[in-house]
């Protein structure tokens, strides 16, 4: 990929940005989701309404926040509400169109782990934990996951279900009383996965320029199903790259 004029993180972020529509309300996690949402709001989705879990509603930060509670979010928000209010009146009430999450592990049914690698009682790696993710995954109308693609991250079964994707398959979300549709797309640095409409199993539906399907299957910890004719992600436009790079600075270029 070294011949391409953009990095794999950049195509991932741009692809994620493209999946947000103008006018949507978006519950934004920090890191990759925040970068992608801010690219979207500066390109095709100027009316994207970003909510960070610190209670900043309609934030439009002039630069990327390092945390979900940076001052720039409060200063640019339509209004700032308390944490109980953002979770109860906004998220739980089903007012958010799309929840935009990162993850340490995701599995075949798009269940998400941000808690531990290994056994919970005696973990190999202790991760930060749940934060707002379980209820974002439960209550947003849709969820989009953005994360880098490798076999440690894409596992057959997550070590810990921090946030429910499609559980163990069809009907599980309904049975669990989860009101939103759950993950509709997982965007990685290699391609795009979506749950099969029937089986809910994550299926490769798109690959980024220069990426082979075999490579994606190789980087996935289960026998990945592949759509008949996976879409090729359109290359990042100059405008997209320039916005992205102005946000991330040299580090990501």
Partner 1 sequence: MAVPLDEAVGRLVHDGDTVALEGFTHLIPVAAGHEIIRQGLRDLTLVRMTPDIVYDQLVGAGCARKLVFSWGGNPGVGSLHRFRDAVTRSWPVPLEIEEHSHAGMANRYVAGASGLPFAVLRGYSGTGLIGNNPHVKTIVCPFTGQELAAVPALNPDVTVIHAQRADAAGNVQLWGITGIQKEAAMAAVRVLVTVEEVVDELEPVPGQVVLPARVVDAVSVAPGGAAPSYAHGYYERDNSAYKDWDAVGRDREAFGAWLAELTGSTGSEPPSTSDPVGKGA
Q: Please report whether residue 120 would count as binding partner 1 according to CB under 8 A.
A: yes
For residue 115, report the phi and psi dihedrals to the nearest 5 degrees: -110, -65
- Strands 105-107 and 154-155 turn out to be parallel
| Site membership for partner 1, residue 130 (CB under 8 A) | yes
- If the CB atoms of residues 64 and 227 are measured against partner 1, the closer one turns out to be 64
Q: Is 240 an annotated catalytic residue?
A: no
Q: Give me the least distance between CB of 4 and partner 1, in Å please.
A: 28
Minimum separation from the CB atom of position 233 to partner 1 (A): 28
Q: Fill in the DSSP letter of residue 82.
A: -
Asked if 4 interacts with partner 1 (CB under 8 A), we say no
**Of residues 163-182, those binding partner 1 (CB under 8 A):** 163-164, 167, 172, 176-179
Tokens 């934004």 appear where?
28
Cα–Cα distance for residue pair 251/253, rounded to 1 Å:
6
How far is 148 from 31, CA to CA, in rounded Å? 12
Q: Which stretch binds partner 1 (CB under 8 A): 4-12, 23-31, 202-210, 224-232?
A: 23-31
Q: Please select the residue that binds partner 1; options are 127, 184, 213, 227, rule is CB under 8 A.
A: 127
8 A C-beta contact, residue 184 and residue 141 = no
| Residue 135 parent element (H or E) | helix 133-139
Residue 8 in the binding site for partner 1 (CB under 8 A): no
Q: Are 126 and 116 in contact (CB under 8 A)?
A: yes
Q: Token pair 């749940």 is at which residue? A: 130
Identified binder of partner 1 from the candidate list 13, 19, 25, 35, rule CB under 8 A: 25
Residues in 38-57 at the binding interface with partner 1, rule: CB under 8 A: 49, 53-57
Residue of 17, 40, 106, 138 that binds partner 1 (CB under 8 A): 138
> Which class for 238: exposed (0-12), middle (13-18), buried (19 or more C-beta within 10 A)?
exposed
Which of 135, 142, 189, 240 binds partner 1 (CB under 8 A)? It is 135
Told to check if 152 binds partner 1 by CB under 8 A, we report no
Dist. CA 46–CA 109, nearest whole Å: 32
- Cβ contact 32:147 at 8 Å: yes
Which positions lie near partner 1, rule CB under 8 A? 25, 30-31, 49, 53-58, 65-71, 73-74, 78-80, 82-84, 87-89, 91-95, 115, 120, 122-135, 138-139, 160-164, 167, 172, 176-179
């Amino acid at each position: 990929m070294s011949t391409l004029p953009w990095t794999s993180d950049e195509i991932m972020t741009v692809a994620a940005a493209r999946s947000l529509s103008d006018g949507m309300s978006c519950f934004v996690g920090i890191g990759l989701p925040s970068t992608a949402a801010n690219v979207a709001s500066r390109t095709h989705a100027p009316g994207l309404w970003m909510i960070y879990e610190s209670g900043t509603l309609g934030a439009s930060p002039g630069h990327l926040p390092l945390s979900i509670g940076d001052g720039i979010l409060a200063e640019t928000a339509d209004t700032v509400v308390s944490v109980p209010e953002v979770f109860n009146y906004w998220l739980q009430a089903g007012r958010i169109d799309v929840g935009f999450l990162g993850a340490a592990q995701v599995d075949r049914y798009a269940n998400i782990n941000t808690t531990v690698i290994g056994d919970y009682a005696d973990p190999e790696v202790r991760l930060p934990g749940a934060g707002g993710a379980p209820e974002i995954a439960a209550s947003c109308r849709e969820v989009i996951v953005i994360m880098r693609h490798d076999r440690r991250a894409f596992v057959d079964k997550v070590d810990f279900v921090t946030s429910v994707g499609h559980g163990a398959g069809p009907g599980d979300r309904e049975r669990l009383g989860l009101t939103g549709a759950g993950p509709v797309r997982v965007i990685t640095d290699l391609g795009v996965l979506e749950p099969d409409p029937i089986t809910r199993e994550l299926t490769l539906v798109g690959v980024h320029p220069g990426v082979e399907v075999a490579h994606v299957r190789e980087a996935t910890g289960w026998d990945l199903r592949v759509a008949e004719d996976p879409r090729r992600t359109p290359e990042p436009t100059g405008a997209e790259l320039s916005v992205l790079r102005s946000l991330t600075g040299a580090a990501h270029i």
